Structure 1
Amino acid sequence: MITIQPFDTTQDGRSVSLVILKNPSGMEAHFITYGAILQRLIVPDAGDYTDVVLGYNDLITYENDTYFLGQLIGRNANRIAHAEVVLDGKKVALSANEGTNQLHGGFEGFGKKIWNVAELDDEVVFSYMSKDGEEGFPGNLLTKMFVKLTDANELVMRLEATTDQETIVNLTRHEYFNLNPNSGKGIAEHTLQINGGGILPKNENNVPTGEVLQIEGTPFDLQKSKALAGSLSKLDGGFDHNYVLEKYSDEVPAAILVAPGGSPKLEVHCTQPGLQFYSAAGIGAVPNKYGAIQGPSPALCLEPQYFPDSPNHPNFPSTVLRPDAVYRHEIRYKFL
């Protein structure tokens, strides 16, 4: 079942809608058209229901938010060094909103835009037209996100984009997951597995060096499911690293996150080659919908994407989109 209804009004007077998807098991996904934000994700949990993503009850808090909470990130997820790319043999200057870098699409990325929404049978489609020159990116870019909630307790999000000029596109989702939010505690006792044996080491500006670091036997090694507390205690600043996925498909999950006690359990499936794991170690108490969750690491992000700073590393998968092509990727949250 799909319901679209008013949610709130922005500070400058624009209307924002709430989109609710429900399945027969009682799972619900609540999106708002501001930032295509996933505000609530309510899943079956040992005979009850749990909202497993951080979020706010009011729009003004989302407008003031600096954590990218629940947003669709674009045009480019993660960082671009020196806020500069080369397209068609020419240097293109982008907006630099993190020192000399561009982070998550600039000062006002896709997560701060009002998206259009339409119902299509058993799914909804969010769409946004990013104009030529927005945050420095060339080309008019039409981005769509098709969202479906299946009877198998899967939230499926298909991302598409087309452009009229050569440009850069690297989209992701920025949900903050805490599978046991009612405890008021963070994610240290959650167990996590990531299907990747390497990470991209970073320089002092938090952008990749271009190498791949094998992680077996290090605190970064999450190839087998383990509680996060041990690794978090050994890593100054926690996790904010892009994992190179061994496989990425509908059949093989990129990551498996399990709450303390074993329920609920989340599988993240994707069609992207990288997964940014952010443990939010620098975030203190978050005023969540149902009361504050204490930090550090009140929740975590698992962000499927192309590699950070891909345009500046020829050995990384390309994020260039040309007018004769369509950008397509899928992210799927499956709850067990």
Structure 2
Amino acid sequence: MSVVKESFGRTNDGQAVDAFIFENANGMKAKVINYGATIVSIETPDRAGQPADLVCGFDDMAGYQSEANPYFGACCGRYANRIAKGKFTLDGVEYSLAINNGPNGLHGGTVGFDKKVWDAAMVGDSVKMTLISPDGEEGYPGTLKVELTYSLNDEGELRLDYSATTDQKTILNLTNHSYFNLAGADSGSVHDQIICINADRYTEVDDDATPSGRLLPVAGTEMDLTSPTPIGQRIGEVQGRGYDHNYCLNKKAEGELSLAAVVTDPASGRAMECWTTEPGVQFYAANWVENVVGKGGAIYNIQESFCLEAQHYPDSPNHPDFPSTELAPGETYTQTTIYKFGVEG
């Protein structure tokens, strides 16, 4: 294993941004930057040994700071996914957030964690990124300290270990928002790639993606991905433009690190597993990505990539029956998510 640090340019307000490049013994490379704690690239070989970059992104800081950026590769927070009407109540106090996705608050607000320059340091073969979010930022209570450590091993596992503490009771839901295409990020539709998600239920939402509070069974519906299914097989039957739903993962115990999803690409032979301690995974088929100019001039479009966003359920603060996203002083938030890459056949 090796990690190399290099410059990735500067933000519009002059802050230096660094890139960290991981490489393992089997030809896999990953690059992350400390702007948004973002995964910029993941290169892995196919069954013939030919490498390709599997994640959508940009060549430079101009792209990552542009309005065209749909959270490519970023850490989303303080609250990933949606909060209905941008409001929640904590210990009898109502808090108001930015409305930035239809009628809802999304991914932490106008300037969420994805738009912050994190402190970063190499620690052995890993990179630890740290962010302080002050009390009241984007409407959230409490000063929050977040750590996210990236590491890569020779088994093809890109591991994300999160932790956080607060000085005042708050809510927290973090995720990585990488857009994957196992044929290569610029390879077009992912409809023929095969997905299996270890979830018997999903979170019902209305047409504004606002959760109703009901967890519905997937069995017998277009939402059933419990057995290997081409992404495009029933996507036309799915609510809205296609898959953009939280799947409630089957867990033997709360906080268990378990297999959430497997995706394979029959053409290249590449396979990806998502493992997580989180209770849910948002499967999103890039339904709103249209004519985004990315790395090397590639044009990314609808359903030409997919996201597996390991996280808590959307709008959990407004649904007491959902797993809690509250964090109090003296407690430590932890999460581990692993994206594991290899080949089959």
Per the normalisation by structure 2, the TM-score is 0.93
CA contact (8 A) 1:94 1:135 kept: yes
User: Is residue 68 of structure 2 the alignment partner of residue 62 of structure 1?
Assistant: no
Letter in 2 for 1:176: Y
Q: CA deviation at 1:12?
A: 1.7
Distance 1:323 1:218 in 2: 42
Indicate the SS of the match to 1:111.
helix
CA contact (8 A) 1:184 1:293 kept: no
Aligned equivalent of 2:200, options 197, 202, 223: 197
Name the stretch that deviates more: 164-173 or 195-204: 195-204
Distance 2:61 2:145 in 1: 25
Aligned equivalent of 1:317, options 323, 328, 333: 323
Stretches of 4+ aligned residues off by more than 4 angstroms: 248-251
**Residues 224/103 of structure 1: CA separation in 2 closer, same or farther (3 Å cut):** same
Indicate the SS of the match to 1:201.
strand
User: Is residue 302 of structure 2 the alignment partner of residue 335 of structure 1?
Assistant: no
CA shift digits 1:59-110 (9 cap, x unpaired): 1111013411110010001011121121222112222222432100000110
The residue aligned with 2:271 is 265
User: Is residue 147 of structure 2 the alignment partner of residue 153 of structure 1?
Assistant: no
CA contact (8 A) 1:285 1:292 kept: no
CA contact (8 A) 2:78 2:112 kept: yes
CA contact (8 A) 2:144 2:167 kept: yes
**Residues 262/256 of structure 1: CA separation in 2 closer, same or farther (3 Å cut):** farther
Pairing of 1:29-108 with structure 2 (within 5 A): 29-46=30-47, 47-64=49-66, 65-108=68-111
CA contact (8 A) 2:257 2:276 kept: no
Name the stretch that deviates more: 206-215 or 276-285: 276-285
CA shift digits 1:228-254 (9 cap, x unpaired): 121123224101100011137777410
Aligned equivalent of 1:254, options 255, 260, 263: 260
What RMSD in Å do the two structures reach over aligned CA positions? Answer: 1.6
Q: CA deviation at 1:34?
A: 0.8
Structure 2 stretches of 5 or more lacking a match? none
The residue aligned with 2:288 is 282
Letter in 2 for 1:150: N
Count residues with an aligned counterpart.
336
CA contact (8 A) 1:31 1:40 kept: yes
User: Is residue 211 of structure 2 the alignment partner of residue 208 of structure 1?
Assistant: yes
Distance 2:300 2:138 in 1: 34
Q: CA deviation at 1:154?
A: 0.4
Distance 1:131 1:48 in 2: 45
Distance 2:186 2:294 in 1: 12
User: Is residue 127 of structure 2 the alignment partner of residue 124 of structure 1?
Assistant: yes
Distance 2:248 2:110 in 1: 27
Identity %: 39
Name the stretch that deviates more: 243-252 or 142-151: 243-252
Q: CA deviation at 1:293?
A: 4.4
Letter in 2 for 1:238: G
Letter in 2 for 1:6: S
The residue aligned with 1:136 is 139
Per the normalisation by structure 1, the TM-score is 0.96
Structure 1 stretches of 5 or more lacking a match? none
CA contact (8 A) 1:184 1:294 kept: no
CA contact (8 A) 1:185 1:298 kept: yes
CA contact (8 A) 1:185 1:293 kept: no
